[in-house]
């Protein structure tokens, strides 16, 4: 299949197989929806659409960042689109760094089962006592004893921990090091490790979560894993995180655009079908028309910005595309919030019920302006980068 055929196949699958499950699949426990999701995953495999973001060498479709961005938009219209194609966070990012930095043994034990969809994983970085936007300041420490890391610390918002087979943990392995960007490592920790305590799944806006949809709080009580469980080399944690987060933000942003498009469709359908007085439809009101026009323009602008960033990552790499990545992160998150909010308002009371997917979008995706770096952090970093040039010119 060429890329256009792949997109058509994926779009048909999402509309026919996933949209038809709502609202049932949105409102039941993870354990009850998992058998159906596993059945759909097997269908995706049989269609040859599995792992769109992974190279053909490792059994994927081998799409570029720009192409996978377009696919992410299609999959993002359903909360389970990415999961059914095995390109969901945090597993997708873990696959990518295991491919690039994992040893042959790590790939055999962790990567290949993850690629096949036989296991799940999670990524543990955020801590309750330190700002999540500052990955060089963490309280989780790994000391080295007799060929092992001995890990002590406290993490939360470890998404997908519940039911995962292993975690990739961002921790401080050289607390006395002089270079703050060389103090951290990323270490593979099996979730069955002695001393690893599952505290709770954190309820998010009333949603308790579970399985892949969970956001866990965990503690490490002298957890021992071999030194060979480090990814890359000791002290490379920050470098690996930067490589992981750039492409990941492309996928997030295009997923948000997929949500925007679906919310936009629902808003427009409501506007032309809802009579508000004798012979007068909702869409005839100027306020509604303004919302529709503004949302259309901002969705289009978001897509172009993300495509530009994705193409630059493919050609220049993530490090040289940091400004473009910051732009799409805060801009697309704000557009998502606006479009979903407008769609809910146009639906009136129905918009806050679970009769449509809008309430689910609103509840789960308010966090888009926080995770993967709060909007304010990205804006500040971008402004500093811009002002550097002016300072040099001024001098």
pLDDT of residue 254: 93
Query: Which of 183, 216, 231 is the last residue before a domain boundary?
Result: 231
pLDDT of residue 42: 98
Query: Which of 211, 231, 251 is the last residue before a domain boundary?
Result: 231
Q: What angle in degrees, to the nearest 10, is found between the helix axes of 3-13 and 65-76?
A: 20
Give the pLDDT mean for 292-306.
Answer: 97
CB 215 within 8 A of CB 159: yes
Counting residues of the chain whose pLDDT is more than 90, the rounded percentage is 82
Length of the chain as a residue count = 395
Residues 92, 139 within the same domain = no
pLDDT of residue 395: 59
Within 8 A by CB and 6+ apart from 248, the residues are 89, 92, 93, 372
Q: What angle in degrees, to the nearest 10, is found between the helix axes of 237-273 and 358-365?
A: 150
Q: How far is CA 275 from CA 285, 312, 346, in A?
A: 11, 47, 12
Q: Is residue 108 part of a domain?
A: no
Asked if pLDDT for residue 112 goes beyond 80, the answer is: yes
Query: What span, in angstroms and rounded, lies between the C-alpha atoms of 225 and 222?
Result: 10
- The number of folded domains in the chain is 3
Q: Quick: pLDDT tens for 1-18.
A: 899 999 999 999 999 999
Query: Which of 69, 102, 135 is the last residue before a domain boundary?
Result: 102
Residues 267, 380 within the same domain = yes
Give the pLDDT mean for 292-317.
Answer: 94
Q: Can you list the positions of beta strands (E) in the chain?
A: 121-124, 141-145, 148-159, 166-172, 184-190, 196-201, 215-226, 275-277, 280-281
Which residues constitute the domain of residue 48?
3-102
Q: How far is CA 36 from CA 17, 41, 210, in A?
A: 10, 9, 16
Residues 49, 191 within the same domain = no
């Amino acid at each position: 299949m060429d890329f256009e055929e792949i997109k058509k196949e994926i779009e048909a699958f999402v509309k026919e197989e996933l949209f038809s499950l709502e609202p049932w699949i949105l409102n039941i426990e993870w354990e009850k929806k998992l058998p159906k999701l596993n059945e759909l995953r097997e269908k995706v495999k049989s269609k040859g659409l599995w792992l769109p973001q992974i190279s053909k060498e490792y059994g994927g479709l081998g799409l570029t960042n720009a192409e996978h961005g377009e696919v992410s938009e299609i999959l993002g219209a359903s909360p389970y689109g990415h999961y059914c194609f095995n390109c969901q966070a945090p597993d997708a990012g873990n696959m990518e760094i295991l491919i690039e930095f994992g040893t042959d043994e790590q790939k055999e034990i962790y990567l290949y089962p993850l690629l096949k969809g036989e296991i799940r994983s999670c990524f543990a970085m955020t801590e309750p006592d330190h700002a999540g936007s500052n990955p060089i300041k963490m309280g989780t420490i790994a000391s080295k004893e007799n060929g092992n890391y001995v890990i002590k610390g406290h993490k939360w918002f470890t998404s997908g921990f519940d039911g995962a087979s292993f975690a990739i943990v961002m921790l401080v392995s050289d607390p006395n090091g002089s270079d703050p960007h060389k103090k951290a490592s990323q270490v593979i920790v099996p979730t069955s490790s002695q001393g690893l305590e599952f505290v709770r799944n954190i309820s998010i806006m009333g949603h308790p979560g579970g399985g892949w949809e969970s956001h866990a709080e965990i503690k490490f009580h002298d957890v021992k894993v071999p030194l060979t469980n480090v990814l890359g080399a000791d002290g490379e944690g920050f470098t690996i995180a930067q490589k992981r987060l750039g492409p990941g933000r492309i996928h997030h942003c295009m997923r948000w655009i997929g949500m925007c498009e679906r919310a936009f469709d629902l808003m427009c359908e409501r506007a032309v079908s809802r009579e508000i007085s004798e012979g007068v439809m909702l869409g005839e009101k100027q306020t509604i028309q303004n919302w529709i026009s503004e949302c259309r323009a901002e969705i289009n602008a978001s897509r172009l910005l993300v495509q530009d960033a994705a193409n630059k990552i493919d050609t220049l790499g993530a490090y040289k595309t940091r400004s473009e990545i910051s732009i799409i992160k805060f801009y697309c998150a704000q557009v998502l919030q606006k479009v979903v909010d407008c769609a809910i308002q146009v639906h009136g009371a129905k918009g806050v019920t679970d009769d449509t997917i809008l309430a689910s979008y609103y509840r789960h995706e308010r966090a888009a302006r926080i995770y993967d770096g709060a909007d304010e952090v990205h804006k500040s970093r971008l402004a500093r980068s811009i002002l550097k040039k002016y300072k040099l010119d001024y001098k």
